[in-house]
Amino acid sequence: MRHNKLRTLIAAGTLSTLAVACGGGSSGSSAMSQGSANVSIMDAPGDYNHVYVTIAAVWFHTSNLAGPDDAGWLKFPLSAPITVDLLSLENGTMLQAFGGLTLPAGDYQQIRVFLIDNQATLTSSASALNLSENDEVLYDNSSGTAETAPLEIVSPSKGIAIYGTFQVNSTAPINLALDFDVNRDVLPFFAGNMEAAQASLMA
């Protein structure tokens, strides 16, 4: 009998909130002018000890109906992935993951954030934090003992989508904050023998 093991899951489309702030008003510039955007990550307080994710890229689109395979995406991969503990970003603390991104001026309605999933080779940023997975959760079990669980991503090639209208213009950078809520977005489940998992849940 295979021993059941707690695992965690973050589903595509679960990202909570897009907060927008900019240093100036609309410029009235033509659609060919350029603006810039900064993208930060933050999180609401959660019940886990640590929730690590490894971020690889962010995409922008002017349509909220665009799928990840559609044309028109503006793609910004990091030169090297970064691993972030979301629970270090509570209570208004933010990490600027992407800075000075150059975008055509105009209205945008969708962002997708791409994580390195656990099927990929362990990144140097995750390794530097002594993680065994690119995306990982640390928690206390029912006995109060610290344990780890892999954080799995539904359809990692499609990214995590967030919707909301914001305007990029040439007068001032726009600052975007992507707000996770780990108590809502991270879902625990058991992998292994179903009876053993049910017994563990009822204990």
Contacts by residues 120-123 (CB-CB < 8 Å, ≥ 24 positions apart): 123/54, 123/80, 123/81, 123/83
Burial of 91 (0-12, 13-18, 19+ CB in 10 A): exposed
Does the reported pTM lie above 0.75?
yes
Distance of CA 35 to the CA centre of its chain: 24
Q: Higher-confidence residue: 46 or 121?
A: 121
What are 149-166's pLDDT values in tens digits?
888 888 888 888 888 888
% the chain with pLDDT above 70: 77
For residue 178 the two structure tokens come to 């992507």
Number of domains in the chain: 1
- Kind plus residue range of the DSSP H or E element containing 112: strand 106-115
Asked whether residue 201 carries a pLDDT value surpassing 90, the answer given is no
Please state, in angstroms and rounded to a whole number, the distance separating the CA atoms of residues 32 and 61: 16
Within a 13 Å sphere around the CA of 15, how many CA atoms are in the beta-carbon half? 25
- The pLDDT of 10-26, averaged and rounded, is 51
Segment 65-112, tens digit of pLDDT? 999 999 999 999 999 999 999 889 877 788 899 999 999 999 999 999
Query: Is the Cβ–Cβ distance between 134 and 117 less than 8 Å?
Result: yes
Residue 11: give the domain boundaries: 5-202
pLDDT of residue 23 exceeding 60: no
Q: Return the bridge partners of 7, or none.
A: 189
Beta strands 34-44 and 174-181, pairing class? parallel
Task: Return the higher-pLDDT residue of 40 and 28.
Answer: 40
Residues 78, 138 contacting (CB under 8 angstroms): no
Say how many CA atoms lie within 13 Å of 80 toward its Cβ: 6
**What pLDDT is stored for residue 136 in this prediction?**
92
| Nearest-angstrom CA–CA distance, 96 and 4 | 38
Q: DSSP class of residue 121?
A: P
